[in-house]
Amino acid sequence: MAGIYIHIPFCKQACHYCNFHFSTSLNQKTVLLQAIHQELEDRKDYLAGQVVETVYWGGGTPSLLSSAEILEMWEVITKNYTLKENLEVTLEANPDDLTAKYLKELQATPINRFSIGIQSFFDEDLVFMNRAHNANHAYDCIQAAQDAGFENLTIDLIYGTPTTTHERWKANLAKAFELKIPHISCYALTVEPKTALAHFVKTGKVDNVEDNHTADQFEILLEGMEANAYEQYEISNFCLPGNYAQHNSNYWTGKHYLGVGPAAHSFNGPTRRWNIAHNPNYIKALKEKTNYWEVEVLSPENQFNEYIMTALRTKWGVHATHLEGWGNSTRIWFEQTAQVFIQQGLMDCQKDVYTLTAKGKIVSDAIIADLFLG
């Protein structure tokens, strides 16, 4: 089983914290969609005939696509790929795009899941982030989607911002619980290089992110999720029973995926491939049938590190028996190194499966880095 990711690199406006590839100009939208159609056709053999079980429109802002544009692309997909019955088909959406009219139009498409970029239910937070929607949009779009029959929803929330007090963060979570969202992704604000937020912090226009503030809100997050019966199955992802995000879970469990569109990444086991992050050059290359990507052949060391990085973030953890694929000495080294973190209460091991504890999840990046080879 495999997945398809489609990157739609357009947004109405630039969020201050975002470092993804996008353009706020829609002038090339039509020709870029045609280029994506061409890439889907050209790369139909990339997944080596595997059945596709998830399709995910990400971005950018895929909810800028019309239902007709989604259907046109879906036709290309169905003609060139073998699809699983009742597959998960996700559209990332901004709250202000999910109007009753648009939702009704989407009922005629294969979309059966929304990933909604709420980020916060408070206007002050949304203004700080430079989001295109407001607090009313954030609340109303979820109810509108549910009323239209779209029950498989996930929302994104951001914590750790200078404007998000602990009480406001608790209120954000309470709102999500009240709306009975089956899946919630929560991300700590990070100051990424070359973003507007990085410039504002550097010039003193806004306060920098405080690690203690973020860590406290992560603990609030864990307490709230547990109290409301949400399972933390990946560091940033929580769901009610049986509502895992299948597409993202496939990333974390090492399944193969095809990424199309500017800046999209693909993975087929031995190699990782990524497209150029430049709309005009991507369009030109598809039209002229020239190279628009780079490829990395993953060494055994790279493959080990990828497994550690993804598996240790999840509830399924690192299986010691799986490490034997890199040799018994590698397994022994991992187990000896992990013992240090187990003694510190940062990791746990049950039946040769290594997972992070709640305390360990707070410093997960440092632990994972120490468990890398090389």
Task: Give the tens place of pLDDT for each residue, 266-310.
Answer: 999 999 999 999 999 999 999 999 999 999 999 999 999 999 999
% pLDDT > 70, the chain = 100
Structure tokens at 80: 């060139």
Residue 156's pLDDT is 98
Q: How much is the average pLDDT of 60-75?
A: 98
Q: How much is the average pLDDT of 206-216?
A: 94
Give the rounded distance of the alpha carbon of 139 from its chain centre. Answer: 21
Does the structure show a pLDDT above 90 at 182?
yes
Structure tokens at 151: 């029950």
User: How far apart are the C-alpha atoms of 164 and 120, rounded to whole Å?
Assistant: 9
Alpha helices per DSSP H over the chain = 29-42, 67-80, 100-106, 123-129, 135-147, 166-178, 196-202, 211-227, 246-252, 279-288, 300-311, 320-323, 328-343, 358-362, 364-370
Tell me the pLDDT tens digit for each residue of 136-161.
Answer: 999 999 999 999 999 999 999 999 99
User: How far apart are the C-alpha atoms of 331 and 308, rounded to whole Å?
Assistant: 12
CATH 2.40.50.140 assigned to domain 2-251? The reply is no
Q: What's the mean pLDDT when you consider all of the chain?
A: 97
- Work out the end-to-end distance of the chain between its first and last CA atoms, rounded to an integer number of angstroms: 31
Side chain identity at residue 95, one-letter code: P
Q: Are 17 and 195 in contact (CB under 8 A)?
A: yes
User: How far apart are the C-alpha atoms of 260 and 21, rounded to whole Å?
Assistant: 13
Does the structure show a pLDDT above 90 at 234?
yes
Which CATH architecture group holds 299-374?
A: Orthogonal Bundle (1.10)
Residue 374 banded pLDDT, cuts 50, 70, 90: confident
pTM of this structure: 0.95
Does the structure show a pLDDT above 90 at 124?
yes
In this structure, what DSSP letter does residue 122 have? Answer: S
> What is the domain partition of the chain in residue ranges?
2-251, 299-374
**Residue 224 preceded by cis peptide, ω within 30:** no
